[in-house]
Structure 1
Amino acid sequence: MAKNTSRIRGTTREIEQAARDLRKQLTPAEAKLWQALRRRQLAGLKFRCQHPIGRFIVDFYCASCKLAIEVDGEIHTQQKDYDEARTEQLEVFGYQVLRFSNQEVLNNLPAVLSRIVEAASK
């Protein structure tokens, strides 16, 4: 069976469609951060929004530095174990994961962007 090279590594059509759907319904914090990340505005880094990686969808992803960024809302206070396991799995795959709360993004975007640039330069 020939490998289908158009597939994103380890994803399924369902995951890819879910990512497309999520791009259409960003939270206010995700939308604010996306406005700052898109079109290589931040240090020339190219980010993707709602990017599938295997069975996961990360909020933002920079392929050149394997950096995944998650913006966490209130629901994440109830699923810390899941989020930690997910982060560990992504790190096993070689990705660096940064997590920010909605409030951090909405109230202190310059500090968030500074941490992203710092992480990307490692």
Structure 2
Amino acid sequence: MRGAQKTTLARQLRQDMTDAERALWRVLRDRKATAGHKFRRQHPIGPYVADFACLEKRLIVEADGGQHQQSRHDAGRDTFLRREGFRILRFWDNDILQNLEGVCDMILRQLSESTR
């Protein structure tokens, strides 16, 4: 996928966010809630688009629906992103919607444990 195509896809994904992605974005976009760390949503990285990425801490947060269950595409994607130096946190949409506070606590722990 070319750069312009990825940008167009990322813009489309920002407009078509799931309920779980919207709920998580409301928290992640507030730097006070993320200890001052900046997150980008639907951010292109290589041939992929990360749901949420903190570039400073090399942390990607993914909100996964049922389509991601046992996905080979996700495994290859994760391998690529890890080779690029990113850590990946995956949460099921249901977990985000039912336990947003717990999800956010886990993200904050990962941000504070980061060495970058």
TM-score by length of structure 2 reads: 0.90
> Which range moved further: 96-105 or 36-45?
36-45
| Partner Cα separation in structure 2 for residue 98 and residue 86 of structure 1 | 13
Aligned to 1:98, which of 83, 89, 105?
Answer: 89
What does 1:4-43 correspond to in 2, within 5 Å? 12-40=3-31, 41-43=33-35
Deviation at 1:78, TM superposition (A): 5.0
Aligned length: 111
Residues 83-117 of structure 1 show CA distances to partners (whole Å, capped at 9, x for unaligned) of 12211110001011110000110000111001101
User: Percent of aligned pairs with the same residue?
Assistant: 40
Q: Unaligned stretches of 5+ in structure 2?
A: none
Aligned to 1:52: 44
TM-score by length of structure 1 reads: 0.86
- After the TM superposition, which parts of structure 1 deviate over 4 Å for at least 4 consecutive aligned residues? none
Bigger-Rg structure (1/2): 1
| Partner Cα separation in structure 2 for residue 86 and residue 118 of structure 1 | 23
Residues 51-87 of structure 1 show CA distances to partners (whole Å, capped at 9, x for unaligned) of 00011000000011011111000101152x2212211
Partner amino acid, structure 1, of 2:39: F
